[in-house]
Structure 1
């Protein structure tokens, strides 16, 4: 099959799409991506060796901006429709964000099969709008069904990617850590968060005399400012980036944001976590993601506005030294997980496209 995927805006949309694309290619399907010419997908997707069609799509602000955005979307939809007439894809899959709207609608107008995937516990505006038009809606949380009853909850492809990746605690040596010691991983997203990093400076100082070790990931834009104030010590290592597939399964506790991709990995593999949802995202979706797990004791949610060094540091110390509590978090997280998400999604794709 010739498959078009549209994903962009944030890594939370892009990396699940790439995970699914990798598996589809294994089954000898051809995958081409579409996305914005000016956002991160224009660099990330080509770096993974997928064909990328750049769309000149823009999101304007303000009252007048809404009309300009609508006009731009209609223009892009017309351009995509002409392209689809020539290329004749068998299937178009959208992963949310406003950029998926003109692409999915163009496909639908030509009677091309369409699927959308929602990564968060609450539908984004684009996916909620598109749900009524597409052939299949795939969700990652049972809560998705409450918003759109025809949703098939199959999980996030990225969780499967980590689940299938072999565990190797020796990877901690790459960061100057001891694989035989308990380890806490702090990761605040690919770009980092200056607000959280400021809070964490004091938390790390509270932890530096403990027996366990810490790997703190600042994110790309937060690293320089962070290490100016705190360099760590033999037990606390500060880095700007890690290979998450290698490291996440090798640690005992993760302190992280509540992005959909991260939580799909945590639940698919049954990892213990403390989540600090970002309050700066559309629809406060990270809060809803985090609370879905917190209510079932599958993770512990701490709000950013409630962050205090003593509270968080003491919580970390309580958990890391309490094996029974850690195991309970892991067991409950696993109940939320969809380790077979990729294969289940491909099975549904085959039904939609009638591939045997």
Structure 2
């Protein structure tokens, strides 16, 4: 078959699209990506696949912004219809984001079936607009807010890269009362200044038995990197501080604990790899979806969720000590995170897409399919 993937230009949309593309290619199918300029320029993704850019407006900026966006979407829809006549897809898969909108509207106009994939625990705005006409909505969470027609929902998980998926098959990094404590800190693809402000100060407050064993890897914004690096040097804490982590799988492989935002791809990678986390949801995320994303991991005992307003150096130090002072507690949190993982998400999403492309019934007997049973919480943190 030929399959077109339509994804917005952020890592949260592009990463699962790449994982699906790789799986479909392994099965011998043709894959093309439709995105915007940001998506086409995203580093190290879709290098082996044809990529087409379409104009797509973002709904915002008042009345004139909405008008510009409307005509941009119409232009993108027309371009996509012409594109589909050269590369005729059997199915179009949308991963959300405004750049996916015109490609999915064009599929509807051409009578091409569509599948939507939702990475977050709250259905995104573009997917919300298009879910009614989609053949199926693949979800990353068993329960997804703002999804009106749950009869179309199939719980497949959020695809992650093979190198991350393999971490879940390996033992958790050795940790005891004297081993180094490896902490990985990221703030999403653009970093987060609050992590640069709070994390080094929180590490400074740790009891000496933990602080003297720290190894930090922290991703920062360009404007924060030098002061964060200098602060760790003052504290005599070994730290690798960078603006971009190219090989996230290698850093996750060594990490005992993750501190960062609660983006959908981040949660998927943590649960696939089995790494406990302290999550600080981005408060301005659309529909507060990062708080919803963090809830399942928090309730299962695989991590802690701290609202940004409560994220202080003192609170962070208390949470790190509660998780890491006892090696058994840390290992238990890692196992609970791993229990939520969906390592076969790419394969299950590919199965769903191919059923739709073949004209088969895409929905299993139990449409919102087979989530891993939650472990009982074990006092793992403050309320999300």
The answer for the alignment partner of 2:104 in structure 1 is 104
The answer for the alignment partner of 2:56 in structure 1 is 57
Go from structure 1 to structure 2 and tell me whether the alpha carbon gap of 1:329 and 1:180 turns closer, same or farther (over 3 Å shift). Answer: closer
Q: Are residue 333 (structure 1) and residue 337 (structure 2) matched?
A: yes
The answer on whether the counterparts of 2:199 and 2:316 sit within 8 Å (CA) in structure 1 is no
The answer on whether the counterparts of 2:18 and 2:45 sit within 8 Å (CA) in structure 1 is no
The answer on whether the counterparts of 1:156 and 1:338 sit within 8 Å (CA) in structure 2 is yes
Distance in 2 between residues matched to 1:159 and 1:321, nearest whole Å: 31
Q: Are residue 265 (structure 1) and residue 266 (structure 2) matched?
A: no
SS of match in other structure, 2:53: strand
* 1:161-214 deviation digits (Å, cap 9, x = unpaired): 5122575999xxxxxxxx952322222222101132112231233349424323
The answer for the alignment partner of 1:239 in structure 2 is 241
The answer on whether the counterparts of 2:324 and 2:330 sit within 8 Å (CA) in structure 1 is yes
CA offset at residue 229 of structure 1?
4.2
CA offset at residue 223 of structure 1?
4.8
SS of match in other structure, 1:93: strand
Q: 1:164 aligns with which of 163, 166, 184?
A: 166
* 1:53-100 deviation digits (Å, cap 9, x = unpaired): 111223251122112211211121122112212321222111001121
The answer for the alignment partner of 1:122 in structure 2 is 122
SS of match in other structure, 2:351: helix
CA offset at residue 224 of structure 1?
3.2
SS of match in other structure, 1:128: helix
CA offset at residue 13 of structure 1?
0.6
* 1:20-63 deviation digits (Å, cap 9, x = unpaired): 111211112221111112x2443436663322111122325112
The answer on whether the counterparts of 1:190 and 1:220 sit within 8 Å (CA) in structure 2 is no
The answer on whether the counterparts of 1:159 and 1:267 sit within 8 Å (CA) in structure 2 is no
The answer on whether the counterparts of 2:181 and 2:213 sit within 8 Å (CA) in structure 1 is yes
Distance in 2 between residues matched to 1:335 and 1:230, nearest whole Å: 36
Give the structure-2-normalised TM-score: 0.82
* 1:308-346 deviation digits (Å, cap 9, x = unpaired): 212211221221121232233223223321111111111
Distance in 2 between residues matched to 1:157 and 1:169, nearest whole Å: 21
The answer for the alignment partner of 1:151 in structure 2 is 153
Q: Which moved more, 1:61-70 or 1:114-123?
A: 61-70
The answer on whether the counterparts of 2:172 and 2:331 sit within 8 Å (CA) in structure 1 is no
Q: Which has the higher contact order (CA 8 A, sep 6+)?
A: 2
In structure 1, stretches of 5+ residues that fail to align are 171-178
The total of aligned residue pairs comes to 347
Q: Are residue 279 (structure 1) and residue 283 (structure 2) matched?
A: yes
Distance in 1 between residues matched to 2:32 and 2:196, nearest whole Å: 37
The answer on whether the counterparts of 1:160 and 1:338 sit within 8 Å (CA) in structure 2 is no
The answer for the alignment partner of 1:217 in structure 2 is 218
The answer for the alignment partner of 2:80 in structure 1 is 80
* 1:276-320 deviation digits (Å, cap 9, x = unpaired): 111132222111111232233232001111112122112212211
Q: Which moved more, 1:194-203 or 1:120-129?
A: 194-203
Go from structure 1 to structure 2 and tell me whether the alpha carbon gap of 1:354 and 1:161 turns closer, same or farther (over 3 Å shift). Answer: farther
CA offset at residue 226 of structure 1?
3.3
CA offset at residue 228 of structure 1?
6.1
Q: Which moved more, 1:206-215 or 1:87-96?
A: 206-215
The answer for the alignment partner of 2:317 in structure 1 is 313
* 1:143-162 deviation digits (Å, cap 9, x = unpaired): 12772402101001117651
The answer on whether the counterparts of 1:13 and 1:95 sit within 8 Å (CA) in structure 2 is yes
SS of match in other structure, 1:279: coil
Q: Tell me how large the CA RMSD over aligned residues is.
A: 2.6
SS of match in other structure, 2:48: coil
Q: 1:303 aligns with which of 303, 307, 310?
A: 307
Distance in 2 between residues matched to 1:48 and 1:230, nearest whole Å: 38
